[in-house]
Amino acid sequence: MCKNTKKRASIGYGLKGTSFHGNGVLCTLLGMIMNTDNIVIGAGYAGLATAALLAKQGKDVILLEKHSAIGGCASFFRRMRYTFDVGATTLSGLRPHQPLGRLFQDLNLKPEIMHCDPGMVIHLDDHQIVRHADLDKWIAEAESHFGKKGQRGFWKEIHAIDEKMWNVLHRNPEFPPKSLGDLIKMGSRISNLSALPLLRDLFRPMDVLIEKHGLKSNVLFKKFINEQLLISTQSFSDTAPIVTGAMGLAYPADTYYPIGGITKPAQLLAEYIRTNGGTIILKESVESIDIQNDDSFMVKTTKGNEYQAKHLFNSIPIWNMKNIAKGNAIGNLAEQYVYTFTKAWGAFTAYFAIETEYHPASPYAQIHTTSRIPHCEGDSFFVTWSPKQDSIKAPDGWSTITISTHTEASQWYGLSEEDYARKKEETLTFILSEFNRVFPQVASLEKHYIDAGTPTTFEHYTGRHQGFVGGLPHSVELGLFNLPKNITSIKNYAVIGDTSFPGQGTPAVVMSAMNAVKM
């Protein structure tokens, strides 16, 4: 029996089912019809931030999530007493001018987080590169590994671009401009004049900035930069735009570890939604979206439930949306972007727990491998190591380890069961061997609950087409102006998440939410 006196969306009961409320979570059976002002689809960080901001404004909002847990690609799973982040593990963008900093301040939320200094340690050949939070300390560290030439000027410019661009994005929800009206609104803001020099850097690759500072022939530096760009912008220095590349390279200076895992701040957002009158519905997979004659939206789910809303905020990836809304303006819009962005990266992930008192200098490490990782595209993988301060993810004296790297998604499909298992085992074995090489302190220890995931794993659990994760790769060929705009040309319809502007990463998808709620 559930009881709740908060304001709720109106419910009309279908012939096949019923419903009830409990702590802001709507439990549904089959055939329910519900009307509300706002529907948000997807309970990843984009959807949670959107629903929380709408709830703060006192608006009716229903958040639909396909999975049995919130978080999306930033969700988790458990093995006995051990908790593993499934994918995204770092938290950044918490400074006052950045999206998560603004969001938590606006909602008066205080997640339990640990500032990481160093933000990460990069193991490159025989170098251990410590990514200090303090800029001057980081520049000195970079000079000790890559030589003094060009480092101070390069990193000063990187961080200046990063700070300026976050401010530009915050005050221009029309970006990327898709109409004359968007350009007029952006042009009317005098504060945008100071950002005009950034405009050309949206169309120039990071290699231009590297050459400007005399670093073009610095092989070790280029190797370092390319793998840093791959984990932050999904691109390399010859294609990553200077602006987004700078934002990606600056992020380790502001890295936080969320106690209990990346899903814990997401749970705070979910609780905020529930306590402020919003409704979250889990295990509700969207089957179709239609636009009604009165410009409202009808969302139908695989359970046969129907949700009608005046405003729709959608985080379903573009590749899925072209079929879900096939034949109407929403599907046509998605299909238009699918033709532009034909592919994205997949991820190979590995997980295990170890009993040890050893903890590295940072919970985060990037390991450059001695050779190309089998069946993967990068020459490095990213490690998240639960610190001793986190007794939620692992009991005292234990740590959980999550490892991820980039892979071409299509190669994991169409395989026989034997070939798939072989490829998976080859990749996992190589990664574990490289992990042991870099961390000899724990190489001989037994690894418990070893598991691994591929793009097919991510598609199975998230429903994302081909298990694509990490969003749309940034490149000068396609450019930020081609990314799907959050407030679309369709009346009262917004797109959020990592296949919309400004792209991949938790700060970026939260930024998409902040833009969308201004609709």
- Structure tokens belonging to residue 401: 């380890």
Contacts with 144 (C-beta within 8 Å, 6 or more apart), sequence order: none
- Cα Rg of the chain (Å, integer): 23
Asked if residue 206 has pLDDT above 50, the reply is yes
Last residue of a domain, one of 340, 371, 405: 340
Asked if residue 261 has pLDDT above 70, the reply is yes
Asked if residue 21 has pLDDT above 80, the reply is no
Q: Residue 378 has what pLDDT?
A: 82
Is there a single domain that holds both residue 358 and residue 335? Answer: no
Is there a single domain that holds both residue 272 and residue 253? Answer: no
Is there a single domain that holds both residue 372 and residue 241? Answer: no
Contact between residue 312 and residue 289 where contact means Cβ atoms under 8 Å apart = yes
Is there a single domain that holds both residue 123 and residue 249? Answer: yes
Q: Residue 452 has what pLDDT?
A: 97
C-alpha distances in Å from residue 104, one per residue of 67, 98, 147, 500: 25, 10, 39, 22
- How large is the angle between the packed helices 506-516 and 45-56, nearest 10 degrees? 40
- Structure tokens belonging to residue 446: 């037994």
Last residue of a domain, one of 315, 340, 365: 340
Is there a single domain that holds both residue 231 and residue 318? Answer: no
Is there a single domain that holds both residue 130 and residue 239? Answer: yes
Contact between residue 239 and residue 245 where contact means Cβ atoms under 8 Å apart = no
Tell me if residue 247 falls in helix, strand or coil. helix
Number of domains in the chain: 3
Q: Residue 1 has what pLDDT?
A: 29
The verdict on residue 475 lying in a domain is no
Per-residue three-class SS string for 3-72: CCCCCCCEEECCCCCCEEEECCEEEECCCCEEEEEEEEECCCHHHHHHHHHHHHCCCCCEEECCCCCCCH
Asked if residue 14 has pLDDT above 50, the reply is no
Give me the long-range contacts of 324-332 (CB less than 8 A, separation at least 24): 324/286, 324/287, 324/288, 324/289, 325/288, 325/289, 325/290, 328/289, 328/290, 328/291, 329/291, 329/490, 330/289, 330/291, 330/490, 330/493
C-alpha distances in Å from residue 51, one per residue of 131, 392, 513: 35, 27, 9
The verdict on residue 504 lying in a domain is no
Asked if residue 285 has pLDDT above 50, the reply is yes
Measure the CA–CA gap between 53 and 486, rounded to whole angstroms: 15
Is there a single domain that holds both residue 132 and residue 250? Answer: yes
* Closest-CA residue to 309 (of 324, 295, 325, 320): 295
The length of the chain is 519
The verdict on residue 85 lying in a domain is no
Strand order in 91-92's β-sheet? 91-92, 255-258, 113-115
C-alpha distances in Å from residue 323, one per residue of 31, 138, 153, 328: 22, 47, 48, 10
Q: Residue 29 has what pLDDT?
A: 53
- How large is the angle between the packed helices 99-107 and 506-516, nearest 10 degrees? 60
Confidence of residue 30 (pLDDT cuts 50, 70, 90): low
Asked if residue 223 has pLDDT above 80, the reply is yes
Last residue of a domain, one of 257, 278, 293: 257
The verdict on residue 100 lying in a domain is no
Measure the CA–CA gap between 17 and 211, rounded to whole angstroms: 65
C-alpha dihedral, 172 to 178 to 181 to 187, nearest 10° = 40
Is there a single domain that holds both residue 440 and residue 353? Answer: yes
Confidence of residue 240 (pLDDT cuts 50, 70, 90): very high
Asked if residue 28 has pLDDT above 60, the reply is no
Asked if residue 11 has pLDDT above 50, the reply is no
The verdict on residue 474 lying in a domain is no
- Comparison of pLDDT for 142 and 479, the residue scoring more: 142
Angle at 315 between CA 24 and CA 115, to 5 degrees: 75
Structural domain span for residue 447? 345-467
The verdict on residue 271 lying in a domain is yes
Q: What is the CATH number of the domain that holds 304?
A: 3.50.50.60
The full DSSP string for 202-222 is GSSBHHHHHHHTT-TT-HHHH
Is there a single domain that holds both residue 322 and residue 351? Answer: no
Measure the CA–CA gap between 480 and 502, rounded to whole angstroms: 7
Is there a single domain that holds both residue 118 and residue 253? Answer: yes
Q: What is the CATH number of the domain that holds 394?
A: 3.90.660
- Structure tokens belonging to residue 353: 């727990």
Is there a single domain that holds both residue 119 and residue 214? Answer: yes
The verdict on residue 424 lying in a domain is yes
Give residue-wise pLDDT tens across range 367-382: 999 999 999 988 999 9
The verdict on residue 4 lying in a domain is no
End-to-end, the C-alpha distance of the chain in Å comes to 37
* Closest-CA residue to 77 (of 381, 335, 349): 349
Asked if residue 26 has pLDDT above 70, the reply is no
Is there a single domain that holds both residue 118 and residue 209? Answer: yes
Measure the CA–CA gap between 403 and 384, rounded to whole angstroms: 6
Asked if residue 342 has pLDDT above 80, the reply is yes
Contacts with 316 (C-beta within 8 Å, 6 or more apart), sequence order: 41, 42, 286, 324, 497
Percent of the chain with pLDDT over 90: 75
- Comparison of pLDDT for 179 and 354, the residue scoring more: 354
